[in-house]
A and B are shown apart, each in its own frame.
Chain A
Amino acid sequence: MSKIICATKAAQNSRLVHEAAFRLADELGLELEFLHVIAVPNYEDLMEPLQDAVRAELHWLVHSLTRISRQRVGLSGISPSVEVVSGNISEAILRRVEDGDVEVLIMGTPDAEGSQFASSLESFLLEVNQTNTRVELVPDPTPHKN
């Protein structure tokens, strides 16, 4: 069965993206997976036990925050899975999309000015489109702050 992947930072302004993902999964009757790419700087350089702890804590975080979103949209019947991966954000998402039978990739618009992912968004979207996966971008409703 094909699925929806929701790429999430599980942080500020991500609730709308989570809620949209739940609604879409409900509407299309597809499995939902929340994919989080570790954004801790220099993660690969950390000691191994600390890497494991970061991964485990992020799993907790994504799991808990998406449960809150599920509760808000009143779709307790949907049980999403959570994947926490490391590496370059666009490469990690693309790898996941290529590996699985993904019908829709849903994510928010990158929020940090000058971030590598934000600047390469256009080429990333083109690459995802080549895999026949539809991309849904949920806009950020809040203005940028310094």
Chain B
Amino acid sequence: MDSLRLAQEVEHATEGLSSVISLEATTVGLLAIAVVVAVVVRRIKFPYTVALVLVGLLLAAFPAIDLNLPSDLILGVLVPPLIFEATMHLPWRRLKADLPSILSFAVGGTLIGTAMVAWLTVTFIDGVSWPAAIAFGALVSATDPVAVIAFFRSLGVSKRLATFVEGESLLNDGVAIVIFNLAILAAGGTVLTVGGALLEFIKVAAGGLLIGAILGYIVSNLVLKNIDDHMIETTTTVALAFGSYLIAEEFGLFIGNQDLHLSGILAVVAAGMMVGNLGFRNTSPTTRLTLENFWEFMAFMVNSLVFLLLGLRINLADMLDKIGPVILAVLAILVSRAVIIYSVSAIHNRIESTRFIPLGFQHVMYWGGLRGAVSLALALTLPAVASFEGQVATTLQEMTFGVVLFTLVVQGTTISKLISKLELAHQQDSVVLQERHQANLFAKRAARRELERLRSEGVLFPEIWAPLDQLYDEVMTDARMELDVHFQTHPELETAMFLQARADAISAERSAIADAALRGIVSDSTAEHLAADLAYRLAALDLISEAYNDGGGTP
């Protein structure tokens, strides 16, 4: 008996071990693919996230690769770090400046979008109940900012526009999930009046935000402020990102009401904002640098996995079987998004003319409303909903995959052209021109040095060298003047160049101190003291740059 039990335990342990190793091998494989994709897209200048989805689609064609992708894995493990990292970098003062309009897009827009998509689904797809249609409407209303924000950064688009897109996306994820869950409840037979649903919505959303804000405040004010150890502080933020999600989602367990679930996503939003806006101010520059590097890496890694898994999960053959509903879904989200963006903007511009939302911003917000991880995660739960007919759940799932694929591949690859066409990346043009002037000067200087070398080696006669050198001197003087005029036309470039040069110089000083400590020229304690001073200087430059980007004061 004992030996049988032992054999069973060994078999059980071996199974567990092999599943861990299998998961590890899959993760390593996916990361390796992501790295190759990252290297290739850097050369061909193609959107990274879109490339990952396309590679995932290609890999999905191989029957050997069959990934089981539970919804909980995406929502509970992959989404929280992405949201935490994004909100950590969302300055509250920028969000606050446009909060009414961002909330209108995120809350009002999601409600309008859900209602419109649900109505179109019920009207045109046979056998779909209202709760199922509302659940579908909600899950395709959650926009994903990752792909778009990457473009914004590379194109130098206005920070205000980036705040609109990022702020709306982060908040509407939470709102969409709350509506989705309410629809699932209704589908299961729970009777929900409009007033009751609204109250439930407020309770879940506000509760999630409150939990995240409290936990974020505790971490920012107790840990980040009082403990000066970047390892402990970084670990605490990891616990906060996942913990705030878990505590909000399972809040009922703490108060003896297992049915009470608050919004985990909104809890992560609030916690991330607390750390980014309060915690960063309370901690040392060294910790801030560690936190930023750690979360930047985490976001890159998780994003790589999410978009690759997204492509792997979509089966093109199944989607083509449902091509009619898929086209309808794509049209529905395009129409509803247009109604949301342009109507909310029109109302906002009429009420608050001092914070006008330009038409160019509206076009970018419309076309930049891509769908990603949250939509996919919610769609994956549909077949498990007992009250949904199997066929309906599969159809809605394929419709979601179609929407995600369309927005990522079609909108994701054309958004940068739209931004350029609308001249919202004008800052970038001036940067390109500055680079051209600098490259021109660099090239001419090299040519002059070469002529000088040829002369000194006796290859070039002084009679030939002298006029050539003079000519280059004149050309370089002209180039310098052109650069000077360019800087006068775009003074922001000069300031940016100064700040960057100063940051580079401080980094060089830090490296030199570290080197001196390694070589024993200065003691470790002296080096640490000097490095800390320089870290404060770098942090100060960051704050100054932010203040300049926001404008204000006397010019």
Which residues does A use to contact B, with CB under 8 Å? Answer: 7-15, 17, 37, 39-42, 45-47, 49-50, 52-54, 56-58, 60-61, 64-65, 68, 72, 89, 93, 107-115, 117, 140, 145-146
Contact = CB atoms under 8 A, between A and B. Distances in A.
B68 interface: no
Contacts of A9: 548, 553-555
Given A40-B544, A57-B541, A111 B555 contact: yes
A11 B160 contact: no
B381 interface: no
A107 B553 CA distance: 10
Contacts of A53: 533, 536-537, 539-540
Contacts of B544: 40, 54, 57-58, 61
A115 B555 contact: no
Contacts of A89: 553-554
Contacts, number: 120
A59 B488 CA distance: 22
B290 interface: no
A13 B536 contact: no
B100 interface: no
Interface string B540-555: 1101101110111111
Nearest to B502: A60
B536 A15 contact: no
Contacts of A46: 281, 543
Contacts of B543: 40, 46, 50, 54
27 contacts: A9-B554, A11-B491, A12-B491, A13-B491, A14-B491, A15-B491, A40-B547, A50-B543, A53-B533, A53-B539, A53-B540, A54-B540, A54-B544, A56-B537, A56-B540, A57-B540, A57-B544, A61-B495, A61-B544, A65-B494, A72-B484, A111-B552, A111-B555, A115-B553, A146-B158, A146-B356, A146-B361
B285 interface: yes
A92 B547 CA distance: 18
Contacts of B297: none
Given A49-B536, A54-B540, A117 B553 contact: yes
Most buried by B among A10, A114, A145, A146: A146
A47 B158 CA distance: 30
Contacts of B546: 40-41
B555 A12 contact: yes
Most buried by A among B494, B544, B555: B555
B492 interface: yes
B3 interface: no
B358 interface: yes
Interface in B499-546: 499, 502, 533, 536-537, 539-541, 543-544, 546
B354 A114 contact: yes
B461 interface: no
